[in-house]
Chain A
Amino acid sequence: MSIEIRNVTKRFGEFLALDDVSLEVPDGSLTAVLGPSGSGKSTLLRVVAGLERPDSGEVLLAGKDATGLSPQRRDVGFVFQHYAAFKHMTVRDNVGFALAIRKRPKREIAERVDELLELVQLKGFADRYPSKLSGGQRQRMALARALAAKPEVLLLDEPFGALDARVRAELRDWLRRLHDEVHVTTVFVTHDQEEAMEVADHVAVLNAGRLEQVGAPAELYDKPASEFVLRFLGDAFRLGDGLVRPHDIVLARFPNDGAVEVEVERIVIVGANARIDLVDGTGERMTARLRREDVENLELARGEIVWATAEQAHPIPERNAIA
C-alpha cells in the first residue's frame, strides 16, 4: 500500500511541528524519516497512523483519502519507541491482540502467533510477561504484534532508540531482512543518519518541520540539496568557498590551485587510518581522514603548516548559507 502525504501542517500550540510537508512512499518500499529531535518526524508518522490529526493537508493510503479515519480503521501497524507492551498480558496475548479484537477463532490465533514468534525469534517466550523480557525482545514482540493482522503498512517510531548499540545493530540488520521477506510498506523514524542510510531504500530528511530532501541514501550523501542535509548526513567542514567531507580533504606540502594554508593540530592514528585535526588562518577548524601511509609519506607532524585542497567540494547552497 502506498502512502501519500500532501501539504500536511500540524501545530502544537505555538510550536509548528510540521510545515507543509508532502511526501510519497511507494508501495513495498522501506523508507526512513530522518531528522534531529524536534524536527517533526515522529509527528509525521503519527499523522500517517491517525494518532494525530493534521491541521491541514491530506493523508492518502493506497490512493484513498484517510485523513479523517480513526487509527483502528487504517490497517496500519505501529511500533512505539518504548514498545507500549501490554503489561498485563503474556507475550502470546500481546501478539494475538489484533486477532482477538477481530474475534478470530482461537486455533487460528494460536497458529498465527506461533508463526510470528518464530519470525521474531521469540519461540519459547510465549507465556512470559513483557516485564521478563529484555529491551530487544520487547521490541521484537511489539513488531510481531504490529504484524499480526497483516497490515498493509508498518510504521516504526525510533524503533531502536532505547536499545544499546550492539542490539541496535542486530535489530537493524534483522529489520532489513524482515522487510525483504514480508514486503510490507515500511516507514521508520530515526535521528541516526547511519541507521537511515544503512537500512532504508529511501530517506526523507526533516528539519524544523520542513522536508529538506528525499532520495536514495547515496544520492543524499553525494548531492545534498541543502547545507543542513550535507551536515546532517556526516561531518562537513568549510574549506575555502565550499564544504567538504573529511575524506575529501587532500593535504600537500606545497600550494597548488585554490589550496588553503592550514596548521596541523593533532594526528590520531587508528589502524590503517588517520585523523588529522586542522585549523586555517581564520580559525576555522576541520578534520581530515587520510590513510596512514599518506600521513607517513608526507611526514606530517603537529604544529606544521600544510596545504589543503578538496577532491570534491559542495558549493554552499544559497538558501542555507552560513550566516
Chain B
Amino acid sequence: MSVPRRLPLRAVALGYLLVVLLGPLAMIFYRSFQSGLRPVWQALSDPLTIHAFEVTLEATAIAVPLNTVFGILCALAIVRRRFRGKGFLNAFIDLPLAVSPVVIGLALYILYGRTGWFGGWLLGHGIQVLFALPSIVLATVFVSVPFVAREVIPTLRELGTEQEQAAATLGATRWQRFWRITLPSIRWAVIYGVVLTTARCLGEYGAVAIVSGRIEGVTQTATLRVEEYWLNFNTAGAYAVSLVLATMAVIVLVAMTLIRPREEAH
C-alpha cells in the first residue's frame, strides 16, 4: 500500500483511540487534581478507601491464579483432546463475556442466598457467602474466566505437538514436557492472559455490586467506593480512586509491552 493511502488510515485509528480511550482517561487525571491535592489525598488516605482497595486486591489475588491454572488446563483440553461436549466447553468459556455481570451477580445471589440451592446448606454449616468476601471472590472469578484460555488456545494451536514429540523421544516424561516445552512456548500468551485477567478483576463492578451488599469497610471494593463517592457528590474522591484504578491497569500493560520485545528479540 502506498504511503498517502496509509496515512489517513493511521490517523483514523489514532483519532478513534484518542476520543474513545485516552480522552476520558486524561479527563480523569485532569479532574482529580483540578481542586488541588488535598481532596485527592483525603479520599485516598481514608481508611475506608484503603480497605476497599484491600478487598479488591484480595479478590484479584485469589481469582487470577485460579483462572490462570484453569485457563491453561481448559486450553490444553480444547486444543489437544477429543471428547464429548468439547464444543460446549469452548462456547461456555466465553459466557462471562456474553452475559452482563449484573446477570451473573443475580445468578450468584439466587444460588447462594438464604433460600438458594447452596446458600441454605452453607449457612447451616456456618459459612456466610453472600455479603461477604467469598461472594466477591466468586463473582470476580466468574467474570474473569475467559481471558487466559482465550489467549492460550490460538498459541497452542500454532505450536502443534511436534516439539513435544521430539522431547518425548529424547526421554522427557509428560510432566517434563509440560514444564520444559509447552509452558515456555506459551508463556507470552499466559502472561498476556494474566494481565487481562488482572485488569478485569480490578475493574469488576456489576456482579460484585449485587452479591457484596456494599458494606462500607467490610465488603466495599474499590469500584464500589468510586460509586459511593460519586453518589455523595464527592467528585474529587470519585476521580481520585478512579485514577488509582486506571493507573494500576496502565502500569501492568506498559510493564508488559516493555518486557516483551526484549525477550522476543532472539
Contact = CB atoms under 8 A, between A and B. Distances in A.
Interface of A: 49-51, 70-74, 76-78, 80, 82, 84-88, 97-98, 101-102, 129, 131-132, 142, 145-146, 148-149
B115 interface: no
A49 B169 contact: yes
A97 B185 CA distance: 15
Contacts of B172: 72, 97, 101
Nearest to B183: A88
B162 A71 contact: no
A76 B163 CA distance: 16
Nearest to A70: B168
Contact of B266 (A73, A77, A82, A132): A132
- Among B163, B173, B176, B187, chain A packs the most CB atoms within 10 A around the CB of B163
Contacts of B181: 86
Given A84-B163, A129-B266, A98 B170 contact: yes
16 contacts: A70-B168, A71-B165, A71-B168, A72-B171, A77-B169, A80-B166, A84-B166, A86-B167, A86-B181, A88-B185, A88-B187, A98-B171, A101-B167, A101-B176, A145-B170, A146-B169
A311 B213 CA distance: 99
Interface of B: 162-163, 165-173, 176, 180-181, 184-185, 187, 266
Given A86-B167, A86-B181, A101-B167, 12 more contacts: A51-B165, A51-B168, A71-B165, A72-B168, A72-B171, A76-B169, A77-B169, A80-B166, A97-B167, A98-B170, A142-B166, A149-B171
B170 A101 contact: yes
Contacts, number: 66
A197 to B, nearest CB: 27
A78 B266 contact: no
A97 B170 contact: yes
B162 A101 contact: no
Nearest to A51: B165
B26 to A, nearest CB: 39
B171 A101 contact: yes
B169 A72 contact: yes
B170 A146 contact: yes
B117 to A, nearest CB: 44
A72 B181 CA distance: 15
A47 B206 CA distance: 55
Contacts of B163: 84-87
Contacts of B184: 88
A80 B167 contact: no
B189 to A, nearest CB: 13
A70 B173 CA distance: 9
A122 B170 CA distance: 20
B173 to A, nearest CB: 6
A51 B171 contact: no
A87 B185 contact: yes
Contacts of A70: 168
A301 B170 CA distance: 61
Contacts of A132: 266
Nearest to B165: A51
A77 B167 CA distance: 10
A82 B185 CA distance: 17
B191 to A, nearest CB: 14
A121 to B, nearest CB: 21
Contacts of A74: 169
Most chain-A CB neighbours within 10 Å: which of B162, B170, B176?
A: B170
Leading 6 A-B pairs by shortest Cβ distance: A84-B166, A78-B169, A98-B170, A71-B168, A84-B162, A129-B266
Contact of A149 (B162, B170, B180): B170
Contacts of B169: 49-51, 71-72, 74, 76-78, 146
A74 to B, nearest CB: 8
B159 to A, nearest CB: 9
A76 B168 CA distance: 10
Contacts of B170: 72, 77, 97-98, 101, 145-146, 148-149
Nearest to A90: B266
Contacts of A149: 170-171
A148 B266 CA distance: 24
